[in-house]
Structure 1
Amino acid sequence: MKYKLGEFVRFVNERREGYITRIIDESTIAVTDDDGFEIPVLASQVTRVHGQTDSSDDLKVESNSDLKQSHFISNGIFLAISPDKRSPSVAHFHLINSSSWQLLFTLYTRKKNQHKGEYAGILKARSAVQIYSCSLNELDLWPEFNIQALLFSPGNEEIQKPIEFSEKFKAKDFSGAKKQHELLEQAAWLIQLDSPEPLIDPEKLKESFFRPHTEKIQIEKPGKEVDLHIEKLRDDYQFLNSSEILDIQMSHFRKSLDAAIVHKIPSIIFIHGSGNGTLRNEIHKTISKHAQVKTFMDAHKERFGYGATEVFFK
């Protein structure tokens, strides 16, 4: 098999291209195209697209002269998972090393009690490498991921324990916002693999139990328009079903409605889209019974059509 996971390939006999997201057997691979469809194909029927794939297989251990820095950075090793720019249904896994260590690492996957070696290499300091790709649409079918890494420095640094990471990802693991990292071109979900154990100060812990809570809850003033489209509210919307999406949208709507009342805003516009009308109907049902709502109507039809509602308060 001359291909590996994550490589960008083009079909020989079709006008189609995509990323390899599964190795089926010695002669067959699965390619996920721009529309998110995973297509089984013979490896002989695709060709590699040069310039699209990260080539970091042959990294060399660096000497002291290559690692001259003002100070040694001991932490900063991450697993980053990000959707592909061209095909958002494809997830790429990157190992990021923003520390001064060099890493000798391996990636294994485990599925049905069978382990498979996916990637191994040396990652130099202040660099990143793509180590795996798979389909976001098949999160439930993802294997368990196991990463092990040895930390090396040619200097006089104290020997570190090996890094061991094992995870079977679930949709809730992607509920947080994606973050930027200087060694990646796009935002990703970041998991730090070398986080030090938190140090607990017994005295501060004791104080926290007996300190009176005097902080006032601050309610942020909403804008004049609140966009309830799910892609504006959550980065992990690809993993949510329709019921979960509606719950999140309605929760954000209620918080914004309450905040508008607290700040005595005369009116507020909720952009819910037209779609099948489910969100619009739920919003109208709620505000029609609300004691603080004077009236409501479709907002700026020339801009939104029937996709937005303006609420006026008493």
Structure 2
Amino acid sequence: MEFKLGEFVRFVDERMEGYVTRIISNDMIGVTGEDDFEIPVLITKVTRVHGHKYPGAAEQYQADTPAPSETFESKGIFLAVVPDQNKASVVHFHLVNDTSFQLLTTLVTDKAGISKGEFAGSIQPHTAVEIYSSNLSDLSVWPGFLIRALYFSKSNVAIPEAIQYSEKFKARDFAGAKKKVAQLNKEAWIFRIDEDDLVIDPEKLKESFFKPVAEKKVVEKPSAQIDLHIEKLRDDYQFLSNTEILKIQMDHYKKALDAAIVHKLPSITFIHGIGNGTLKQEIHKTLGRNNHVKTFLDARKEKFGYGATEVILK
């Protein structure tokens, strides 16, 4: 019998039950009970408990999905990583198709040069399908992911090139805040699979080559300390949603960091406050991927407490 992560099982010879939180081998799984202690057990010693709903890999989520717009949507394919509702150590990967295309999709994992097919199927427009599950505690040994998708539609529209998305996830990829996914009605870490089209205006590009030096934009040198508290950035902050506030703060941070890199500053400090930690997490996530950043650390606690990050630039 094949078990999947997140399924509820009961021991055959003992009065114990719990959720599958690890696939150890073809013959053994890890089961975690109410005490959050994981027990390795042979699959012959447990049985699946029916009545505990487990969304299989082929299940498509359509509940609470907004009705498709009248316009044909050609962009919007995401990988949503959702913590298990029973055991947060387990995460489920869903491919979210927010386009008007039908997607013919495969997922292949690669570990030490050995490839394994994990999912193959069709994903309907404006739906989501679970394609993989894993344990976050095993993240360091997760395989690499390769997702391929072909677009299909009977409408008279241009068919985009096939998607090929590869990723080897790291801990910092899950440091940011989760976002609500309408198709799943759940919070998830989001990874974009398709990219927005890069629109180039030939005339504007031509004009940029012939602009006088005086007309070119000058990047101002930023101060050594950037305060990202929203009240320092906007006067109307009382009327902004949390999402709008985070976007404004992140835009200001990115602009200041780019300016510091242009002016070759040795370091720059961002004052983000403590709050719920979302802004700090988002900043640290982008810093970990920036090739111009040597390292980053908590700024001097005697001056900023725990509410600032110092960035050391290369």
Asked if these proteins are the same fold (TM beyond 0.5), I'd say yes
In structure 2, the partner of 1:8 is 7
Please say if 1:234 is aligned against 2:281: yes
Superposed, 1:75-154 pairs within 5 Å as: 75-154=75-154
- Output the TM-score relative to the length of structure 2: 0.62
Map Cα deviations across residues 142-164 of structure 1 (whole Å, 9 max, x no partner): 01111111211122222222211
Say whether the 8 Å CA contact 2:109–2:143 is kept in structure 1.
Answer: yes
Aligned-residue sequence identity (percent) comes to 33
Say whether the 8 Å CA contact 1:82–1:93 is kept in structure 2.
Answer: yes
In structure 2, the partner of 1:161 is 161
Counterpart amino acid of 2:7?
Answer: F
SS in 1 for 2:166: strand
Say whether the 8 Å CA contact 2:111–2:143 is kept in structure 1.
Answer: yes
How many Å apart are 1:114 and its aligned residue? 0.9
* Residue 229 to residue 160, structure 1, CA distance change in 2 (3 Å): closer
Map Cα deviations across residues 105-134 of structure 1 (whole Å, 9 max, x no partner): 111111111111112222111111221111
SS in 1 for 2:88: coil
SS in 2 for 1:234: helix
Say whether the 8 Å CA contact 2:20–2:29 is kept in structure 1.
Answer: no
* Residue 95 to residue 38, structure 1, CA distance change in 2 (3 Å): farther
How many Å apart are 1:215 and its aligned residue? 9.4
Figure out how many residues of one structure are paired with residues of the other and give that number. Answer: 240
In structure 1, the partner of 2:28 is 28
Counterpart amino acid of 1:53?
Answer: Y
Map Cα deviations across residues 256-288 of structure 1 (whole Å, 9 max, x no partner): x55xxxxxxxxxxx689xxxxxxxxxxxxxxxx
In structure 1, the partner of 2:216 is 210
Please say if 1:250 is aligned against 2:290: no
User: How far apart are the structure 2 equivalents of 1:30 and 1:155?
Assistant: 47
Map Cα deviations across residues 180-203 of structure 1 (whole Å, 9 max, x no partner): 221122222211111134335535
* Residue 102 to residue 221, structure 1, CA distance change in 2 (3 Å): closer
Counterpart amino acid of 1:47?
Answer: R
Gaps of 5+ in 2: 61-66, 232-272, 285-294, 308-314
* Residue 19 to residue 154, structure 1, CA distance change in 2 (3 Å): farther
Gaps of 5+ in 1: 60-66, 238-246, 259-269, 273-314
In structure 2, the partner of 1:54 is 55
In structure 2, the partner of 1:240 is none
In structure 2, the partner of 1:219 is 227
User: How far apart are the structure 2 equivalents of 1:43 and 1:30?
Assistant: 9
Query: Which one is further off, 176-185 or 162-171?
Result: 176-185
Superposed, 1:263-302 pairs within 5 Å as: none
User: How far apart are the structure 2 equivalents of 1:34 and 1:70?
Assistant: 47
How many Å apart are 1:101 and its aligned residue? 1.0
User: How far apart are the structure 2 equivalents of 1:42 and 1:21?
Assistant: 12
- Output the TM-score relative to the length of structure 1: 0.62
User: How far apart are the structure 2 equivalents of 1:69 and 1:230?
Assistant: 35
Counterpart amino acid of 1:54?
Answer: P
Say whether the 8 Å CA contact 2:6–2:90 is kept in structure 1.
Answer: no
SS in 2 for 1:158: coil
How many Å apart are 1:57 and its aligned residue? 2.5
Report the aligned-residue RMSD. Answer: 3.9
